[in-house]
Amino acid sequence: MPLLVMKFGGTSVATLDRIRRAAKRVGVEVAKGYDVIVIVSAMSGKTNELVGWVKETSPLFDAREYDAVVSSGEQVTAGLMALTLQEMDVPARSWQGWQVPVQTTSAHSAARIEDIQTENINGKFAEGMRVAVVAGFQGVSPEGRITTLGRGGSDTTAVAFAAAFGAERCDIYTDVDGVYTTDPRISSKARKLDRIAFEEMLELASLGAKVLQTRSVELAMRYKVKLRVLSSFDEQTDTSGTLVCDEEEIMESNVVAGVAYSRDEAKMTLISVADRPGIAAAIFGPLSESGVNVDMIVQNISEDGRTDMTFSLPTDQVARAEKAMEDAKTSGSINYHDLVTDTDVAKVSVVGIGMRSHTGVAAKMFAALNAEGINIKVITTSEIKVSVLIDRKYMELAVQALHDAFELEKVA
């Protein structure tokens, strides 16, 4: 029988009523003739409660015990979902990570899936089971201990199952009804996309459109798993939600798929750094070791053997970055005249695979921002993305202006 993977996030299984609603969605697919693997998250709020207990007990906790405690949330939802399906006369049973088994690395609380054994579950499908309910976010280490994949890991579980079992599609049920051209709270003209390419989704996800976990999109792209994002709170049709798929499956599309933003950005500039071979490593090595996630990097033209180095980073990592730079200066590994920090910036990006074959996207973007009098502080470009750092107070205005300039409210 054809197989679907359906994943329900925490808000979609937050109460027994919502579990029942989700189970009905599963029942619809079973009635169509699909065998279904359901991946469930913990009931909304549960994981936070469990994590809170662990951290209160042991601030520098043993991640193996953290995983044992925190994985219990998905275990409960899986059992309750299986019971709900059984009440609807759908043959179902629950599986925990170690029962499948989902083999992972031993990197507790941030493990990676290494292998999913399909024999046990496929055996039960062959015996007439129609739905395997699997606890998301968890697996088992080579040492036989429970592991978790890190927050949001249930998306990754879902995609990995879809790849391992050769599912026709992986439906991710969440509290939004799809991927939009931009945040509808910022532009009322934002339009739901019917389809988006994996690469575009990756850029949008890592830029802060928190619909899908980045790793799950990477995995889907590698194994060509068709991902559909849709709302568990709306009535569904076959064209509901947004399909995240290979670009070849997208016939017509705008050059730009969407406008993304990130509010919590800061900009740091090292003024007058000695410009010598290895200077970039001397700056960004210590930052990386301090756990600072540097995003954009711009180096000015060198004058008299000295240059300015500018980079962006999350606002809450500024103090750590400043300390790392001062320590590096004290130790003599780098030398600079001044360190200037600007915590009032935001990043705005336009993303689209069409940019590969169309020129002029960056120019159009700069013109649109200029027309609104918005000054650009830093620019970076990739094959399918142009990002700019601007004053935070202009962020909403910039997003609206770019959405209008690229006419994203219209279907191509």
Could you list the residues known to form a binding site, using ranges.
7-10, 47, 74, 174-175, 180, 185, 210-211
Tally of residues, the chain: 412
Tokens of 334: 């780098």
A 10 A CB-CB count for 2 gives 13
Contact between 145 and a second copy by CB under 8 A: the answer reads yes
Contact between 83 and a second copy by CB under 8 A: the answer reads yes
Q: Tell me which stretch binds a second copy (CB under 8 A): 53-61, 104-112, 209-217, 281-289.
A: 53-61
The DSSP code for 241 is S
Please report, to the nearest 10 degrees, the dihedral formed by the alpha carbons of residues 256, 259, 262, 266 taken in order: 60
- Phi first, then psi: give them for residue 279, nearest 5 degrees: -65, -35
45 or 166: whose CB is closer to a second copy?
A: 45
Are the beta carbons of 105 and 147 closer than 8 angstroms?
yes
Instruction: Give the residue among 203, 217, 205, 120 at the shortest CA–CA distance from 163.
Output: 217
Report, in Å, the least distance between residue 49 CB and a second copy. Answer: 10
Report, in Å, the least distance between residue 233 CB and a second copy. Answer: 20
Contact between 50 and a second copy by CB under 8 A: the answer reads yes
151 or 358: whose CB is closer to a second copy?
A: 151
Contact between 82 and a second copy by CB under 8 A: the answer reads yes
Contact between 22 and a second copy by CB under 8 A: the answer reads no
Contact between 57 and a second copy by CB under 8 A: the answer reads yes
- Phi first, then psi: give them for residue 168, nearest 5 degrees: -65, -35
Q: Which residues pair with 273 in a beta bridge?
A: 307
Contact between 187 and a second copy by CB under 8 A: the answer reads no
61 or 284: whose CB is closer to a second copy?
A: 61
> Residue 249: how many CA atoms within 13 Å on its side-chain side?
16
Binds a second copy by CB under 8 A, chosen from 21, 51, 61, 381: 61
Q: Is 15 helix (H, G, I), strand (E, B) or coil?
A: coil
Annotated binding site for substrate: 47, 74
77 or 317: whose CB is closer to a second copy?
A: 77
- Between CA 191 and CA 183 the distance in angstroms is 9
Q: How many residues bind a second copy (CB under 8 A)?
A: 34
A 10 A CB-CB count for 132 gives 26
23 or 292: whose CB is closer to a second copy?
A: 23
Pairing of strands 258-274, 306-314: antiparallel
Show the site string, 100-139: x = touches a second copy by CB under 8 A, - = not.
----------------------------------------
Report, in Å, the least distance between residue 37 CB and a second copy. Answer: 17
Angle at 24 between CA 20 and CA 30, to 5 degrees: 140
Instruction: Give the residue among 351, 354, 344 at the shortest CA–CA distance from 389.
Output: 344
Contact between 53 and a second copy by CB under 8 A: the answer reads yes
Q: Which residues here bind a second copy, judged by CB under 8 A? A: 16, 19, 50, 53-54, 56-58, 61-62, 64-66, 68-69, 72, 75-76, 78-80, 82-84, 86-87, 93-94, 96, 98-99, 144-146
